[in-house]
Structure 1
Amino acid sequence: MKRIILAAALAALAFHAAAQQWPSKPIRIVVPYPPGGSSDIIARAISQPLSEALKQTVIVENRAGANGNTGTDAVAKSNDGHTLLLCDTGALAITPSVYKQLPFDPSKDLRGVTMLAYSPHLLVVHPSVPANNLQELVALSHKDKLNFAVTAIGSAPHLAGVAVEKATQAEWTYIPYKGGSQAIGDTVAGQTQVLMNGMLATLPMVQSGKLKVLGVSKATRVPLLAKVPTIAEQGVKGFESGTWQGVLVPANTPPAVVNRLATELTRIIRLPEVRERLVSQGAEVYTMTPAEFTAFFERERKNWASVVAAGGVKID
């Protein structure tokens, strides 16, 4: 019995020591999308406070490509113990259903640290589009060609667009991009007419009049757009979707490091100055423990698998 107690005590000390000794060099936060999207905005909001907390330089690295898979694969295969992934975790849960082959398995090669924020999707159009609600947009899609900007094939906004299209019998053509900022840019320029994207990155374009919002993909209306009806209110009963930003690390990361990161990130995202910055752009601070994050990810993976199957979305 004494040996068991001693072994447990030594294990606890080793666990504590691992967390205290880490980090021993600069931290990289990999965002697997171009600059300007929701994940990038949040990564840059937390990088300086995280640097101060860990007493190490924190670098945000945009590593876009293959609909977010390039940067995600790099993190999954990293073994330096100092590389984090900040991405749309809902989109990551969709990936296994969309791609026939992946160089990584998100359920096995990565582990969740914490969720950071949620923002509903906004259904927006270029101001020249003669539609002021979802019903008018659907009717217009039967008469004119509408290009729907996709932040990435198989992303949550893409599948949200597919779900709305199927539910309303709308007709539009999906135009893929490498990330939300590029999809927003082309819709603002009028090269695409319709876009579904996270509120955090899209709201500034709505507030400046460069995009026109037709609906919000939340169960209830959002205070910043109180006059804008939800998509559910406009006939798509029960419809709700959104962008979830969270942090993941390679699966071999020590539990002590995961727990320390979760503690610091949860504290930082709740700081008044960070929270207010995100809330003012339509994002909700939403945190989870590592265990809650894992359960959420598996639920999302199963839920979106049925949407992917119904929409026939597959990438070789």
Structure 2
Amino acid sequence: MDRREALKGLLGFGGLATLPPSARAQEAWPSRPVTIIAPFVPGGSSDLIARAISGPMQRAIGKPVLVENRPGANGEVAARAVNRSAPDGHILMIGSIGTWSINTALRPNLGYDAERGFTHVTLAATTPNVLVVNPERVPARDVTGLVAWLKENRGRTSYGTSGVGSSDQVTMELFKQVTGTDPTHVPYPGGGAALTDLFAGNVQMMVTNLSILTPHIQSGRLRAIFITSRERSPLLPDVATATEAGIPDLVVSSWQGVMAPPGMAPSLLRQVHAEIAKALRDEATVQRLDQIGFQVVASTPEEFATFQADEITRWRRVIQAAGITPE
């Protein structure tokens, strides 16, 4: 019996055609370049983390790891595309709290199911938000002073954000709910535009990621009122936490999580998770992210799924109470 006949005998009549589709489709991972989708423009948090892990991951798996920016609709454009991709580990996506949590709470007709429409890989990293004011427009130096100033100037105060449904907005709306204040929301097409108007005094305050605000706080252009982490940040050791300032409910993390297309085989998920987690824990990655205010988490897929579900529940309550609607 020659080799061809022996192979037929092992596989059954018809050879490879008799294998189940899943077995035929599965291939060694990675068999080609891996692409990490970042659903925002270059320079944002998702992009920075994707690029931070691409190098160590590429060295470990021996294949190129590419970062592709696909912005639009607070991550919805990219998420829809990934949702329809093959779950073979060659397409991954790192998205923000907005993409994986707030969008679900805010948009009833969202074009993807953030909980069941993807394979959870890991909660990658978290960073707190900071509430800042323009020191030339707002005399307050702490929460007590800010709340008093806002109440004295009802109807004449405003805050800027990077857009409706952003982490910036929902954090500020939570602040308004727990303090009984009412600054007007002014959404911008991005955080840079909001900062420009804050510097100009067209809005008086803003809440956004520590990584974005730190240099402006350190230079004195902005005054930090509080940070939303449980503990003070080493980058801003003199800035009190919201809890220290008497607002214990205002512990908020802006976070980034890695997802894959739905239906990934458990064995492949273990491989992908192991490589992503290893890249996140790489010494250079940890140092790079720590410098911009991110703390590496690298959770298990199960921990990420539980965390995401809790976040969706939390922000749905805030969004409903604030009456926030999509643009």
Would you say same fold, with TM above 0.5? yes
The residue matched to 2:258 in structure 1 has which SS?
A: strand
Aligned pairs, how many?
303
For residue 98 of structure 1, what is the amino acid of its counterpart?
L
Cα deviation, 1:42-87, whole Å, max 9, x if unaligned, reads 1121111122222222222222221221222222222374221111
Q: CA deviation at 1:124?
A: 1.6
User: Does the CA contact (< 8 Å) of 1:50 and 1:264 recur in 2?
Assistant: yes
Query: Residues 1-316 of structure 1 correspond to what in structure 2 (within 5 A)?
Result: 21-79=28-86, 81=88, 82-89=90-97, 92-130=100-138, 131-141=140-150, 142=153, 145-188=156-199, 190-315=201-326
Instruction: Say whether the 8 Å CA contact 1:66–1:178 is kept in structure 2.
Output: no
Shift of 1:179: 4.2
Stretches of structure 1 that go unaligned for 5 or more consecutive residues are 1-14
Amino acid at match of 1:42: I
TM-score (norm 1): 0.85
How far has the Cα of 1:143 moved from its partner?
A: 5.6
Code of the residue aligned with 2:229 in structure 1: it is K
Amino acid in the other structure paired with 2:106:
V
Query: For the residues of structure 1 that align with 2:204 and 2:67, how far apart are their CA atoms?
Result: 31
Contact 1:67 1:179 in 2 (8 A): no
**Separation in structure 1 between the aligned mates of residue 23 and residue 293 of structure 2, nearest angstrom:** 38
Distance 2:306 2:263 in 1: 18
User: What is the alpha-carbon distance in structure 1 between the residues aligned to residue 46 and residue 95 of structure 2?
Assistant: 5
* SS across alignment from 1:152: coil
Q: Indicate the RMSD between aligned Cα atoms, in angstroms.
A: 2.7
Contact 2:74 2:98 in 1 (8 A): no
3-state SS, counterpart of residue 135 of structure 1: helix
Counterpart residue type for residue 278 of structure 1: L
Identical pairs, percent: 33
Distance 2:29 2:119 in 1: 18
Say if 2:214 and 2:236, in contact at 8 Å, map to a contact too: no
d(CA) in 2 for partners of 1:302 and 1:143?
30
Aligned AA (1:117) = A
Which structure's CA Rg is the greater one? 2
203-212 or 300-309: bigger deviation: 203-212
Letter in 1 for 2:72: G
| Deviation (angstroms), 1:253 | 2.5
**Secondary structure at 1:75 match in 2:** helix
Opposite residue 176 of structure 2, the aligned amino acid is E
- The 1:135/1:108 distance shift into structure 2, 3 A limit, reads same
Partner AA of 2:231 in structure 1: T
Question: TM-score, with normalisation over the residues of structure 2?
Answer: 0.83
Measured in 1, the distance between the counterparts of 2:100 and 2:38 equals 12
1:149-193 CA-partner distances (Å, limit 9, x unpaired): 222322333211101012112222222234445544543455543
Contact 2:155 2:182 in 1 (8 A): no
Query: What displacement does 1:229 show?
Result: 1.0
